[in-house]
Amino acid sequence: MRPGEDWLWCHTDQAVLDVPEAGTARQPSGVTWRSLMVKPMLVAVHGDREVLATLERDLHRRFGADYDVMTAAPGAVLADLERLREAGAQVALLLADQWLAGMTGVEFVCQAHQLQPVAKCMLFITYGDAAAGTAGLQAMALGQLDHYVNAPWGPPELHPYPEVGEALSQWARSTGRPGPPPELVRIVGPSWSPRSHELRDPMARNSISHGFHAADTADGKRLLARAGLEAGGPPVLLWFDGQVLVDPPNQRLARALGAVGASGSVSKNAPTVATPAMPSAMAWCILTNRPMRLSAGLGGTTSPAAAGTGPGGGGAVVRPRAAAEPRRRGPGAEQQARGR
């Protein structure tokens, strides 16, 4: 490769492509762009080739089993991305340094995002670079950037693996690539039954993965037959561990979810607990079919009994109290108070 040429190379399990100029890719015999782009891609752009080589090595070591890693120097990258799109390639993440030849990193990810609109965008910001930091924060505020990573970084396990992993997780959820989450509870019942909707509400409000299957569909009939039941009856809840509950009362549903114990008392070890007050709130919202509200501020929760959201309550939100500090008065404050 001659000095000054733009270059691009793709690290995959099949081959490495060296593209000195846009549109003149040199490919190994029998290998096409389409055959290489089976897995989603990570595209990294940086002006320093040494940094870029290190980044490519680290990304491929951690994410190479599921993603093809493409690193590039400034130049014909956008043209190559357009060619990748025409070939059917899917880019999951775009990484760029803020200071590139001919454009900034924010400008690059904005243009690249038009070619790959579902890709997540990440910016490298050098420590102490106030201009790059301001540009990155402004881009995030405008929705042009999803994440940033400070550079230089040390062990990749500290940076940038966590940031890249989080961005890929967001991309996977937004595109549905991993498939639907597992159904911990399957509800089978009449589509327009009010009770069917009542049973689904506490599941959704407490982020419990579940699925609804109409009893008159093929899936619904198959699930009912597997449980030894017939269509036409009340809603049925099929648990992942084999439990079968036929139109359970709310108290029984809360017990099955671990929100209350067998005796009906509130459990202190509910599986979806984030704070000590969560089990009672979760149990109460299931039993009364009302949403559980979180306080905005210090992470407190609505306590069904103490907060007054239960019967006879006023709906107040309980928040943790900070230690009271003595009120400070300025000079002359006491004299002014006496004179009032």
Smallest CA-to-CA distance from 249 within 229, 234, 266, 265 is with 234
pLDDT category of residue 221 using cuts at 50, 70 and 90: very high
pLDDT of residue 124: 94
pLDDT of residue 289: 53
Q: List the CATH code of the domain at 180-248.
A: 3.40.30.10
CB atoms within 10 A of CB 80: 23
pLDDT of residue 315: 37
Residue 340 CA to residue 334 CA, distance in Å, equals 10
Residue 124 CA to residue 141 CA, distance in Å, equals 16
* pLDDT tens by residue, 100-131: 988 999 999 999 999 999 999 999 999 999 99
Is the confidence at residue 58, as pLDDT, over 90?
A: yes
Burial class (CB in 10 A: 0-12, 13-18, 19+), 146: buried
* pTM attached to this predicted model: 0.54
DSSP state of 333: H
* pLDDT tens by residue, 174-208: 887 766 677 889 999 998 889 998 898 888 887 78
Q: Percentage of the chain surpassing pLDDT 90?
A: 38
Residue 102 CA to residue 179 CA, distance in Å, equals 40
3 - beta bridge partners? none
CATH class of the domain at 8-175: alpha beta
C-alpha atoms less than 13 angstroms from C-alpha of 93 in its C-beta half-sphere: 29
pLDDT of residue 70: 87
Locate the domains of the chain by residue range: 8-175, 180-248, 253-318
